[in-house]
Amino acid sequence: MPSFFDQTTPAEASQYNGFAGNRLDRLSEARDESSLAAATADPRARYLLFAEERALIAVNGEAGIAAFERPAAERLGLLADSLVLLGAAAEGPCLAGLVDEQRDLPDTVKAIDLRSLASQGLLNADDLGAIAQARSMLAWHANHQFCARCGKPTLMRGGGVRRDCPACSAQHFPRVDPVAIMLTIEGERCVMGRQAHFAPGMYSALAGFIEPGETIEDAVRRETLEEAGIEIGRVRYHSSQPWPFVSSLMIGCHCEALTSDISPDESELEDCRWFDRAEVRAMIAGSHPGGLVVPPRMAIANRLICAFADWDG
């Protein structure tokens, strides 16, 4: 009988994950200290705007537009000091900026949190991906105003690709925090858990931050043992997902259980148990008799769970 782990890796499964469609040219090697001024002087420049952690979207029926021209951005209360150059689209430069959140928005513009934005399908994949980059970059700059080495104020460089410390010459680069997210499988069943803050009835794949000095596979084995008490053998990469809450990279894997008994980490999980494939399929279809569900389609957990449920080996 074939094993789930005998499959070949699907081509670029990451492209189907929410926030994965960013096509901006980041211009990482082409920037200098005039790049930001040149971008803001370009009449083609477009601005992705945030009121704190929510993106401003011009909503017109079922469609939303994330990119504003400069005059519109200023009417919405653009804080010019916050601007970061994200990169170049075919139409011209793309920047991210904060607006004054005290200012009232016109009826046609909504401030929308990024989970809702990804679930509602208001934006195309390219713009949703750029919004994720924008949110992570704005948050990084806001939280790294001071040097982590000597504590003195830092300065943005290269339009936002770096912050330098004039006092001690340290260079600071935007960070990405890798998170392993894994669906544990044993034959025809898988392990899912729920945290107390999840939506009612929702179960998901287990997840945890990868620690310094650790491989992805070892993080999957450690986290599964810590959270569920299950020992893991083979680990198989599935896909990755930029996760802008605030700057994670979700690294999705399937992993093979070597033991069956579950002892949940009660400090993290409200419940954790085995689900057979028929039950998982009902949860995906929204027809589970107990009303249990899996995370929404935009989440990598959904893709990991569907890959197991759809597997016809």
Q: Which residues bind Zn ion (CB under 5 A)?
A: 147, 149-150, 165, 167-168, 170
Q: Closest Cα partner for 91 from 32, 31, 159, 25?
A: 25
Q: At what angle do helices 277-285 and 300-310 cross, to 10 degrees?
A: 130
Dist CA 207 CA 8 (whole Å) = 24
Secondary structure tally for the chain: helices H, strands E? 7, 16
Dist CA 132 CA 20 (whole Å) = 9
- The tokens 């009121």 sit on which residue? 51
Task: Calculate the alpha carbon distances from 58 to 50, 69, 82, 189, 300 in Å.
Answer: 12, 12, 21, 44, 27
3 state DSSP class of 280: helix
Amino acid occupying residue 195: Q
Closer residue to Zn ion (CB): 117 or 147: 147
Closer residue to Zn ion (CB): 101 or 164: 164
Task: Render 64-80 in DSSP notation, one character per residue.
Answer: EE-EE-HHHHHHTTEEE
The answer for residues whose C-beta is within 8 angstroms of residue 184's C-beta and 6 or more apart is 190, 191, 206, 224, 228, 230, 232, 254, 255, 256, 257
Dist CA 289 CA 292 (whole Å) = 8
CB of 164 to Zn ion, least distance (A): 9
Closer residue to Zn ion (CB): 151 or 291: 151
Closer residue to Zn ion (CB): 167 or 285: 167
Closer residue to Zn ion (CB): 154 or 184: 154
CB of 152 to Zn ion, least distance (A): 5
CB of 28 to Zn ion, least distance (A): 23
CB of 167 to Zn ion, least distance (A): 5
CB of 144 to Zn ion, least distance (A): 11
Closer residue to Zn ion (CB): 103 or 149: 149
Closer residue to Zn ion (CB): 21 or 158: 158
Dist CA 307 CA 16 (whole Å) = 12
CB of 145 to Zn ion, least distance (A): 12
CB of 51 to Zn ion, least distance (A): 31
CB of 143 to Zn ion, least distance (A): 16
Closer residue to Zn ion (CB): 92 or 166: 166
Q: Which two tokens stand for residue 268?
A: 């993290």
CB of 173 to Zn ion, least distance (A): 14
3 state DSSP class of 198: coil
The answer for residues whose C-beta is within 8 angstroms of residue 88's C-beta and 6 or more apart is 24, 25, 27, 94
